[in-house]
Amino acid sequence: MAKKKNTQAAVEWDYSPSPESTSHIELKSKYDLYIDGKFVKPSSGKYFASYNPATEEKLADVAYANEKDVDKAVKAARKAYTNVWSKMEASERAKYIFRIARIMQERSRELAVVETLDAGKTIRESRDVDVPLACNHFFYYAGWADKLDYAFPNRKVEPLGVAGQIIPWNFPLLMAAWKIAPALAAGNTVVIKPAETTPLTALILAEIIHEAGLPPGVVNIITGYGDTGAAIVNHDDVDKIAFTGSTAVGKIIQKAIAGTGKKATLELGGKSANIIMDDAPIDQAVEGIINGIFFNQGHVCCAGSRLFVQEAVVDIVVKKLKRRMDTLILGDPLDKNTDIGAINSKEQLAVINKYIKIGIDEGAEMYQGKCVIPEKGYYCPPTIFTDVAQSSTIVQEEIFGPVLTIQTFRTVDEVIQKANNTPYGLAAGVWTDKGSRIFNLTTKLRAGVIWANTYNKFDPTSPFGGYKESGFGREGGLHGLSAYVKLK
């Protein structure tokens, strides 16, 4: 720690820089598609660049897959499904999945640094949350692979076939793990596409899968934009679509597969309520609010982006929240002290700034944490809005950034009504000292996941998914496995 200022009143301290080294990372300048166990050039010959949003520097070029490449990948996945993977002893399948998990652990430092470089998320989060959780998903589902008859007793369990999977940019490696691990454990083969702004850890995962010796075609990893995703969705020989992303694209996908017989799970947007009752432990709740909305720059589909505080404690909660916001360190995501990293892309920063302007124009009162914004890169300070109405645009629409709206309530019935008054239904948080209040609220809130006296806690054993426009189907736990099997 370095001494910053020495006034008569107090000594203020500042953290010295503590950047994670990148010297052990060797990114290639160009990445190809991983199809049928080989790295192959895209048939169009086109590549696109992936940038570091914290510095705006180019990291690498990645292949742009078109319909032909998607067809190649689906054919490889079908062949691997029919000839190898669905016929293999389940205990052998488990070994491969365990092997992926172990190699991921061995390369965890590299994965964490590349995730931070490509996505802009802090190294603390990629190192301590994303990568370990991603490994745990493979470990967890490896354990189920040869126990499917116990997972679904008295049923005949069969895989679905070829799974087409499309993932977003907020948790790139973790989302790949959520998708690939249960699909493989249940005996399916996979064609997966990471988001265009964050393809790099998925491509390292392709190397890991290759090193684990998976039979060619069992996992195919292809990169591209929305049209590549659409080609996966529309391919005739895909049996299941698993998508995580925006509600707008989720709706397009649902229309596209209607009547085709393809199975689907859709994990879409959210506008989750975080509810602070007057008997809540205030300091803990403030940490929960911070974690709920500022974790991963608010790029979290289940972010606690609508705060509801019981009227009696609103002044103290907002005061403490502002004070805590001023201590948050924004800046270089590779620095181990950083709390708030970079916004994932220029486009997303523009979306967030658009909503901040709407909030101000609609008459809400804004407060932003006192942060120094770096000159290069895409950053947004932690932002809260008070004086908002249930009808305010920033209360109704998902922002996907570090922006919180704060409303008050008097009674439990009132907060249930307000919390449920949203097109979404992904998650919610409740902070109170009383178990009975927790049970009352958890039964009445229309949300797939409800945390009590905590927020944003994830575990591979625990199902995750939404209601209403937040999508359908569950990932994680046995529910996540059931999304990849036919039960007879």
**Interface contacts to ligand ADP, rule CB under 6 A:** 166-168, 193, 195-196, 225-226, 229-230, 233, 245-246, 249, 252-253
Please tell me which residue in 196, 267, 398, 475 is annotated as part of the active site.
Answer: 267
Q: In this complex, which beta carbon is closest to ligand ADP, that of residue 99 or of residue 240? A: 240
Q: Which residue is nearest to ligand ADP (CB)?
A: 229
- Distance, in Å, from the CA atom of 100 to the CA atom of 218, rounded to the nearest integer, reads 13
How near is the Cβ of 23 to ligand ADP at its closest, in Å? 31
Helix, strand, or coil (residue 203):
helix
Residue 85 burial (CB < 10 Å; 0-12/13-18/19+)?
A: buried
Q: In this complex, which beta carbon is closest to ligand ADP, that of residue 302 or of residue 388? A: 302
Q: Considering only the C-alpha atoms of the chain, give the largest distance between any 2 of them, rounded to a whole number of Å.
A: 77
Q: At 392, list the tokens.
A: 């305010």
- Distance, in Å, from the CA atom of 191 to the CA atom of 250, rounded to the nearest integer, reads 18
Q: In this complex, which beta carbon is closest to ligand ADP, that of residue 165 or of residue 456? A: 165
How near is the Cβ of 64 to ligand ADP at its closest, in Å? 11
Please tell me which residue in 301, 302, 371, 380 is annotated as part of the active site.
Answer: 301
How near is the Cβ of 224 to ligand ADP at its closest, in Å? 7
Q: In this complex, which beta carbon is closest to ligand ADP, that of residue 252 or of residue 452? A: 252
CA angle 223, 224, 228 (to 5 degrees): 110
How near is the Cβ of 267 to ligand ADP at its closest, in Å? 10
Q: In this complex, which beta carbon is closest to ligand ADP, that of residue 176 or of residue 184? A: 176
- Distance, in Å, from the CA atom of 140 to the CA atom of 308, rounded to the nearest integer, reads 35
Q: Which contiguous run of DSSP H or E holds residue 326?
A: helix 314-327
Residue type, 356: I
- Distance, in Å, from the CA atom of 281 to the CA atom of 432, rounded to the nearest integer, reads 7
Contacting residues for 177 by C-beta, under 8 A, at least 6 apart: 133, 134, 135, 137, 138
Q: Which contiguous run of DSSP H or E holds residue 139?
A: helix 131-144
Residue 267: active-site member: yes
Residue 211: active-site member: no
168 closest CA partner among 68, 97, 253? 253
How near is the Cβ of 300 to ligand ADP at its closest, in Å? 11
Strands in 301-443 per DSSP E: 306-310, 365-368, 383-386, 403-409, 427-431
How near is the Cβ of 50 to ligand ADP at its closest, in Å? 13
Q: In this complex, which beta carbon is closest to ligand ADP, that of residue 159 or of residue 229? A: 229
191 closest CA partner among 164, 160, 224, 172? 164
Active site residues: 267, 301
